[in-house]
Structure 1
Amino acid sequence: MAKTSRSRKTSKREKPVILITNDDGVMAPGIRHLIEAVKDLGKIIVVAPDKPQSGMGHAITIGFPLRLQPVKILEDVEAWSCSGTPVDCVKLAVDKILHRKPDLCLSGINHGANHSINVIYSGTMSAAIEASIENIPSIGFSLLNYSLEADFTAAKKYAKIIVEKMLKVKAAKHLCLNVNFPSVDESLINGIKVCRQAYAKYEEDFNERNDPSGKKYYWLTGEFVNMDKGKDTDVWALENNYVSVVPVQFDLTNYTLKTQLEKSLKW
């Protein structure tokens, strides 16, 4: 019994294992800034795509081999590049590198917004959701700035605040948070606001063009349209210089409609 007691005390002193991934690629500035923000909070393991994987959603690699290669990002941080998707990175990290579930999975910091409908397409958020499917508490981080030269100072500060809080509380089962940072100076941020996902989408268009050989190709363009005027949404929060936090889930069941159908349909 004494041995068991000592083991428990030792485990309490161990640092939490934090898995970090993204969809912009293992060498993207955003992931380096995220590592720097949280490296003192636990044992950091990085497994991220070897190339940009934006817009991959929850894709996984089937029919092609997956490869892992060690890379150096920061001193004293174990990091691996993966030839697959962000979701592949989480799966391989758990099964082949960690050989256990991490205490927390962080994805990002993404270059560009992942508010509203973007969460459906986002490789950043799909990696976080994949972790939550396995009951690993997870957070996806995004900055509303697509530039590789973006200022991550405020994002790093608030990412650390949020991760510190999450490590101190007992996480709900399948917890997954979608966190977006406004692209403004730290002094202009009004705080953190828990929100719902806005009803907004892209009005898309495909520009038709010709390649040098005269063959047609199409280039996706679009305009973001917010149809939600609520002041409790992620879009509103970001427009008003708040860090938005939206709890998301992988269960896509429409429970209100389910109840209505049970009452109205007779099979």
Structure 2
Amino acid sequence: MLHGKVVLVTGAASGIGAAAARLFASYGARLALLDRDEEVAALAAELPDAVALPYDVADRDAVFAAVEQAAARFGRLDGAFNNAGIEGLGGGMAPTEGYPADEFERVLAVNVRGVFNCLAAELPRLPPGGAVVNTASVLGWLGGPGQAAYAASKHAVVGLTRSAALEQAARGVRVNAILPGAVATPMLLERGFRANPDFAEAAPGAHPMGRIARPEEVAEGAAWLLSDKASFVTGHTLAIDGGLSAR
């Protein structure tokens, strides 16, 4: 589905990003894997045609350097999966009036400015037929008690996606977003559930399908949106949430 395409994946060291890297490689993509976590190098080494880019998406200069490095390595850039993100408070929750201002800014720096930085660096590099997928969340549509920073940041990702899609449509570059529900990633299992045992018990049942998602299921949605099979889809927000947002 992605045969021969050069795709940049951010937040690639673990969770949805790592699952996407492996899936995209199985579909024939050549990969530039960006993550501030050094484990991204090990992932790149296990894939057939991948390079590791140890950068932080919140650092604008670093993002532009990474995109240039990817384009130099492969000769072009065909797509990007802007997936890097953090939840804030180490998975904990706090009411809006008590949410620490410095932590709020940290979440927005990664989740909003990071996507903005990536789009600014990637879009000029993409040819007609190129595509971008941004990872938002069902909390980009819905509210999340105790998750003011995360919900605000993911609403912003939806806005960035739609604006960029309208700007790029005339030249044939597509920009979409995925909106996962709860996913079995370290962000949720190792931090969110541990910090909030009640949430851990309630999460599967909150999804009408009665379970949380596997990272690979979310990655499949991103792969389709990046592929030519979605050639007339842009400005779309694809919920991959087991029916959660349909309630």
Greater relative contact order structure (CA < 8 Å, 6+ sep): 2
Length-normalised TM-score, structure 1: 0.42
Larger radius of gyration: 1
| Higher relative helix content | 2
Length-normalised TM-score, structure 2: 0.45
